């Protein structure tokens, strides 16, 4: 791979004091801005892609006469189960892989094209699936046929998401200096929201008449954007990986779980973030159905409302990033949780029509920005650098495991109450439960050194082991 001129190993610049450095990589200010821009191209496409399945697939599945419980299983439980299985091994191997392309890039080179093909296949099924289901109706009920095909495609979607998107997040923390990570993530969210805004204003209005085309266009755009990343951004050199514990998939997963979940402090972090993620299940799966079926909004109207929230994200992203670089991101994350609780209580009682739904969408975008921008900087603050991918994946496993469990519960809950408005009750309840864990985490963090002297517990254990060996 050609080495960009703006980024070279630090050993080649020993005499030039550059302020932007991470590992063996040094950047000029212009070089760092170029890397930012190239990565944000992929982020823009990612932001548009992330809106695709939660906004459109529930509508399609309802047209195929699936229950809310079935939608919850297909869009929540199935992907999360795949995440729990695949993410440990992928993150474990990506931390320890050493190739001439880097440790993250080989996984992205598989995951991104696979994800693009999956999106295109989803579009083709939306176009031809209903007709095919009717032709096969005598052999298999159309609802069962839809569940089987969409289930298979969601397995593919999540597996390639783990390899492409999840590893991309690790990749960013490997190539972006820690001193600017807050601002990077803030602008990251701006471009992510801009991608969502593009989807909501340009693609969503087309979905009512051309939903298959929207999926196909997203797949092509996603692949094109990340091709630019592949061709221009590179990783630095890494220290040798930890000693191999075995070459098998089982050995890697066993080591992953033993190292990741053997420290109570990190288990608390995983639980705290996971419960906060569980709070978003109902909104993610049923927000579009609440708007279109219960409030009588069209897909075009719903898309415009989403776009307002995305625009807010764009405007708030950079100021929040600057705040995070000056304050500790976890404090911002906790503050965001409090705002989310208050917002959902208000929304349950006052959201009744398109106007109040729009106001709610804007407020929700504002309060969730606090957590969206601060989550990954919080992980960077807590997790050991040499095992960042591994611990990030462990945190994601907790989240996806609970989401898999509660997605079924969320769909069943909505079926029982018969009112999509209760998604606000779900959100406020689980955010409140998660906030309790966040307070405990904050107190433990202070015990481990707090803002100025924090030492990851893993480091303490490794130091103790090394001292014991020296004494021996």
Length, in residues, of the chain: 472
d(CA 185, CA 43): 11
Element (H, E) at 144: helix 142-161
16 φ, ψ (degrees, to nearest 5): -110, 110
State the Cα–Cα distance between residues 362 and 304, nearest whole angstrom.
11
Q: Is residue 262 a contact partner of residue 390, using CB atoms and an 8 Å limit?
A: no
> 100: how many CB neighbours lie within 10 A of its CB?
8
Torsion over CA of 38, 44, 47 and 48, rounded to 10 degrees? Answer: -140
| pLDDT at residue 18 in the model | 52
Question: Where do the structural domains in the chain lie, given as residue ranges?
Answer: 26-236+251-448
**167-175 vs 388-417: helix axis angle to the nearest 10?**
140
Phi, psi of 18 (to 5 degrees): -100, 135
- Assess contact for 30 and 18: CB atoms under 8 A: no
C-alpha pair distances (Å), 365 with each of 59, 196, 297, 362: 22, 12, 19, 5
Q: Specify the 3-state DSSP secondary structure of 263.
A: coil
Does the pLDDT of residue 342 top 90, yes or no? yes
pLDDT beyond 50 at 14: no
pLDDT reading at 298 higher than 80: yes
Query: What is residue 437's predicted lDDT score, i.e. its pLDDT?
Result: 93
CATH no., domain 26-236+251-448: 1.20.1250.20
Confidence of residue 193 (pLDDT cuts 50, 70, 90): confident
d(CA 255, CA 264): 17
pLDDT of residue 73: 82
Residue 179 has pLDDT above 80, yes or no: no
**8 A C-beta contact, residue 229 and residue 41:** yes
Query: Can you give the pLDDT at residue 121?
Result: 93
- Position 195 scores a pLDDT of 87
Query: Can you give the pLDDT at residue 253?
Result: 66
Give the containing element (helix H, strand E) for 248: none
- pLDDT tens digits along 238-285: 777 766 555 455 666 677 777 778 888 889 999 999 999 899 888 888
């Amino acid at each position: 791979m050609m080495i960009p001129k703006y980024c070279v190993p630090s050993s080649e610049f020993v005499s030039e004091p550059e302020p932007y450095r991470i590992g063996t990589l040094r950047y000029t200010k212009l070089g760092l801005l170029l890397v930012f821009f190239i990565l944000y191209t992929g982020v823009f496409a990612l932001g548009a892609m992330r809106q695709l399945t939660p906004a459109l697939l529930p509508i399609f599945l309802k047209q195929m006469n699936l229950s809310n419980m079935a939608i919850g299983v297909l869009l929540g439980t199935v992907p999360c189960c795949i995440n729990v299985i695949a993410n440990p091994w992928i993150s474990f191997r990506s931390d320890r892989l050493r190739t001439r392309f880097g440790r993250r890039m080989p996984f992205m080179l598989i995951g991104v094209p696979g994800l693009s093909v999956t999106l295109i296949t989803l579009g083709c099924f939306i176009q031809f699936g209903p007709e095919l289901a009717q032709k096969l109706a005598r052999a298999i009920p159309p609802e069962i046929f839809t569940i089987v095909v969409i289930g298979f495609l969601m397995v593919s979607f999540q597996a390639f998401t783990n390899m492409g998107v999840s590893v991309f997040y690790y990749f960013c923390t490997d190539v972006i200096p820690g001193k600017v990570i807050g601002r990077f993530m803030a602008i990251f969210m701006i471009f992510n929201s801009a991608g969502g805004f593009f989807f909501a204003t340009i693609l969503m209005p087309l979905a009512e008449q051309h939903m298959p085309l929207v999926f196909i266009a997203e797949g092509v755009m996603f692949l094109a954007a990340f091709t630019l990343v592949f061709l221009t951004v590179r990783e630095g050199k890494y220290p040798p990986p930890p000693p191999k514990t075995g070459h098998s998939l089982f050995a890697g997963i066993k080591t992953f779980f033993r190292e990741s979940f053997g420290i109570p402090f990190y288990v608390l972090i995983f639980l705290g973030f996971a419960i906060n993620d569980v709070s978003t299940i109902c909104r993610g799966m049923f927000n579009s159905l609440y708007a279109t079926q219960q409030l009588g909004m069209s897909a075009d109207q719903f898309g415009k409302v989403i776009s307002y929230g995305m625009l807010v994200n764009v405007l708030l992203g950079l100021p929040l990033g600057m705040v995070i670089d000056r304050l500790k991101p976890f404090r911002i994350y906790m503050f965001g949780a409090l705002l989310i609780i208050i917002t959902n209580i208000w929304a349950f009682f006052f959201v009744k029509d398109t106007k109040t739904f729009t106001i709610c969408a804007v407020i929700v975008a504002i309060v969730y920005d606090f957590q969206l921008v601060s989550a990954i900087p919080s992980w960077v603050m807590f997790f050991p650098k040499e095992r960042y991918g591994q611990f990030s994946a462990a945190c994601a496993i907790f989240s996806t495991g609970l989401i898999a469990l509660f997605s079924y519960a969320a769909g069943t809950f909505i079926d029982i109450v018969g009112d999509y408005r209760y998604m606000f009750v779900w959100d406020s309840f689980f955010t409140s439960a998660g906030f309790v864990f966040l307070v405990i985490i904050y107190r433990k963090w202070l015990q481990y050194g707090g803002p100025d002297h924090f030492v990851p517990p893993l480091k303490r254990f490794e130091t103790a082991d090394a001292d014991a060996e020296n004494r021996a």
